[in-house]
Amino acid sequence: MRIWVDADACPNAVKEVIFKAADRREIETTLVANQLIRTAKSRWLRAVQVPSGFDAADDWIVEQMSAGDLVITADIPLANDVVVKGGVAINPRGTEYTKENIKDHLSRRDMMEELRSSGSISGGPPPFGKKEVQQFANAFDRQIARLS
């Protein structure tokens, strides 16, 4: 099992949880972004900078990952691709995407996108705080234990 992080929009507090777990469990972990990403010093961590472009990081992750890998992303279409390929996806708020629930998440995402573009609703997700970091850490630990 390897861990892949869609790092462009991943909160730093979530990255810290990932860094500590990668070191403690000795799991190869790759952060992927289209900008330079800093990682903690560890033989288990590496950062990959992909060219700028729509979904470049997402496409690279899907190409490189294997079934049984864990991907951290807030991007639901990427999570869908991961699940289809046999991986597991978790978002930084701790939501776990599975074969059983990914289609519902995609449908909700599409509906919200339509509502935002029509002006019916505005704004994004609620603020990210300690509660969300804890929810992520719990889901992350569960998946690492299951996949290891």
Boundaries of every domain in the chain: 3-147
Per-residue pLDDT of 25-73, as tens digits, reads: 999 999 999 999 988 889 999 999 999 888 899 999 999 999 999 999 9
The answer on pLDDT for 119 being more than 80 is no
Whether the pTM exceeds 0.85: the reply is: yes
With 0-12 CB in 10 A as exposed, 13-18 as middle and 19+ as buried, what is 58? buried
How far is 64 from 46, CA to CA, in rounded Å? 14
The answer on pLDDT for 135 being more than 80 is yes
* Confidence at 116, pLDDT banded by 50, 70, 90: low
**What CATH number does the domain located at 3-147 have?**
3.40.50
> Average of pLDDT values for 72-91?
96
Q: At 48, is the secondary structure helix, strand, or coil?
A: strand
> Average of pLDDT values for 118-127?
72
- Edge to edge, what strands does the sheet with 70-72 contain? 45-49, 29-33, 3-6, 70-72, 88-90, 96-97
How far is 102 from 92, CA to CA, in rounded Å? 16
- pLDDT for 108: 75
How far is 64 from 56, CA to CA, in rounded Å? 12
